[in-house]
Amino acid sequence: MRSIKHIHGDKEPHWVGDGFYVKTLFNHLDDDPDFNYRHTDPFLLLDYGQPTNFAPNPNYKTQPHGVGQHPHKGFETVTIAYAGEISHADSAGGYGVIQEGDVQWMTAGRGIMHEEFHSPAFGQRGGPFSMVQLWVNLPSAHKLTEPKYQTLKRDDLPIVNLTDNENGNEIGKAAIIAGEWQDTTGAASTFTPINMWDIALHSAGSTTLQVPNSHNVMILVQEGTLLINDTPVSAGSLIQFATPTDTDLDSDINAANEPSATPVSDSIKLTYPKLSDDEHAPSTVKLLLLSGEPIGEPVAGYGPFVMNTQAELKQTFRDYQMGNFGK
């Protein structure tokens, strides 16, 4: 079983633009010796948009809430809508509106300009709003890839039933955004091996997930409370699991070279606690599992740009200032 190293969540929320009230649960620029990019590679940043109520915006057509046009280069942004609606438009022609359960996956690659706002429909009516945005690093071989945009609708995401370890009854479901679970492959195309599973538990019981032994692994509790590896956790918490050691990686390589080798994995146990008779029926617990094979390359980043060297980073800023960005 992959052990829990730390539970994060004591970050102060802040506004991104005027539409996204988020906690930055990790950032590749952090220098905490116990929780930095080495522990999250290939994931660069995670903004958790905790549930926030927005009043109807009378100027939703001309002044929508959100973030206006801004640049990115050298990585991918992944946005998951949990409540409300988000519209996206970019300089490569990508456009989309995502609703609850949908995903926007934008590859900035060699450079892109984009904007993110509340959709006109949501701006007009208002209501609860919650989202998550991830930054996923690109390896050096693909830093300058052509920008692209993927809209992944909830109805198009493969769904895996999660069953109780004891009786086999279904206690939840996992939408496979990226990666693989059992024989199911996720909807998103990725540049490096990662898993991104949107999990919902609706009934009491325990189920076990399997993640590659060589991956960095984290779980965001988006809603509700549960036990992970028998440890209580609640909404807004980011669970950091122990980092794969060099020995683990060597073992995986050696195992993969064996003729009858099967992928080496670690287990993670999720438990939806059984309530006493005087407690109300449980609500759904929502989780986001992230696991990824570390890229293991140097990172030079500042603001919206993530490259491999300081020289590349400086050139990116020069290109942006001279109007050659993305060319």
Percent of the chain with pLDDT over 90: 83
Which string of DSSP letters, residue by residue, matches 165-207? TTT--EEEEEEEEESEETTEE-SS--SS-EEEEEEEE-SSEEE
**327 part of a folded domain:** no
pLDDT at 300 over 60: yes
**261 part of a folded domain:** yes
**255 part of a folded domain:** yes
pLDDT at 252 over 70: no
Q: Which stretch of 45-49, 90-94, 126-130, 246-250 has the lowest confidence by average pLDDT?
A: 246-250
Read off the pLDDT band of 277 (50, 70, 90): low
pLDDT at 265 over 80: yes
- The CATH number of the domain holding residue 175 is 2.60.120.10
pTM: 0.92
**Stronger pLDDT, 250 or 140, i.e. the higher one:** 140
**210 part of a folded domain:** yes
pLDDT at residue 52, rounded to an integer = 94
pLDDT at 279 over 50: yes
pLDDT at residue 264, rounded to an integer = 86
**48 part of a folded domain:** yes
Q: Tell me the C-alpha to C-alpha distance, in Å, between residue 318 and each of 218, 309, 313, 323.
A: 35, 14, 9, 9
**155 part of a folded domain:** yes
Mean pLDDT confidence for 156-170: 97
**262 part of a folded domain:** yes
pLDDT at residue 90, rounded to an integer = 93
What is the span of the domain harbouring residue 141? 4-322
**309 part of a folded domain:** yes
- Please count the structural domains in the chain: 1
